[in-house]
């Protein structure tokens, strides 16, 4: 059961809090929190969000999650403020680009931010989470972590790795009070997506959620049972098809390649 179900409010660390989904989650999560530690790289956005949230104490940590000093600052804040029982690894970056011409530095950043950083932050905070009577780690993945898609090879690799990490750590900590869970949004209208991605989604008639819709679904997931959730009935069906009969998604996506390539950055 989740920390709220255990009879006490959340004491949460939320990464990527200055982004679209992160800020929406913060707004909907705050009323159920006794403490909310917001982590992000945009100090002005974090401070504005902190000033907006009046329902619980809010602390901000501004820094890059690929920097060990930021991870240490988050741990220090969590300990000094009385501990946490929820870690939401939401921070992420994306880059829509043909893999053959994608910058090696961009590929490294995608893997470092979307996979390595949440792994290392989780490792750093496990002792703090273990001190709570019940706790959760929720990794925010993507439907692209389960369905490889052209133009997102490195992003898909990172998100697939995050799902694998979640499952393995969930099993490793199965006899502890720490739950490890995976929440996968589908296409969402946020600044993480370039104009080219938005145009491609419209051309492909891809369903998109608002950050507020994703946050509402996340809150429902947080208090429910089950270790993972993928948003969108059509997307869940396609994920299952991709697992059981991958040749069918292969063919469907191949038919979309002319539209995808039309929108890839030159």
Q: 69-74 — which CB contacts under 8 Å span 24+ positions?
A: 70/39, 71/120, 71/121, 71/124, 72/124, 74/13, 74/37, 74/39, 74/121, 74/124, 74/125
Catalytic residue among 10, 96, 155, 218: 155
Q: Are 185 and 140 in contact (CB under 8 A)?
A: yes
Q: Are 38 and 60 in contact (CB under 8 A)?
A: yes
CA pair distance 53, 60, nearest whole angstrom:
12
- Whether 10 sits among the annotated catalytic residues: the reply is no
The single-letter DSSP state of residue 112 is: I
CA 80 to chain centroid, in Å, comes to: 25
Catalytic residue numbers? Answer: 155
């Amino acid at each position: 059961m989740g920390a709220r179900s255990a009879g006490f409010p959340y004491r949460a660390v939320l990464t990527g809090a200055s982004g679209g989904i992160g800020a929406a989650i913060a707004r909907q999560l705050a009323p159920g929190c006794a403490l909310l530690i917001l982590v992000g790289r945009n100090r002005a956005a974090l401070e504005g969000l902190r000033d907006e949230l009046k329902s619980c104490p809010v602390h901000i940590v501004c820094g890059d999650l690929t920097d060990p000093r930021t991870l240490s600052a988050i741990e220090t804040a969590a300990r000094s403020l009385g501990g946490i029982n929820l870690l939401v690894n939401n921070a992420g970056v994306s880059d829509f680009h043909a893999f053959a011409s994608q910058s090696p530095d961009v590929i490294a950043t995608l893997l470092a931010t979307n996979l390595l950083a949440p792994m290392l932050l989780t490792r750093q905070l496990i002792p703090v989470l273990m001190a709570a009577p019940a706790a959760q780690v929720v990794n925010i993945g993507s439907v692209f972590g389960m369905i490889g898609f052209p133009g997102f090879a490195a992003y898909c690799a990172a998100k697939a790795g995050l799902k694998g990490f979640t499952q393995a750590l969930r099993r490793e900590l199965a006899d502890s009070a720490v739950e490890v869970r995976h929440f996968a949004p589908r296409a969402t209208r946020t600044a993480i997506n370039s104009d080219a991605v938005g145009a491609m989604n419209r051309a492909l008639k891809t369903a998109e959620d608002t950050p507020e819709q994703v946050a509402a679904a996340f809150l429902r997931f947080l208090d429910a049972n089950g270790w993972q959730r993928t948003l969108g009935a059509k997307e869940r069906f396609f994920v299952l098809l991709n697992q059981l009969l991958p040749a069918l998604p292969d063919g469907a996506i191949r038919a979309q390649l002319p539209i995808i390539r039309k929108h890839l950055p030159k």
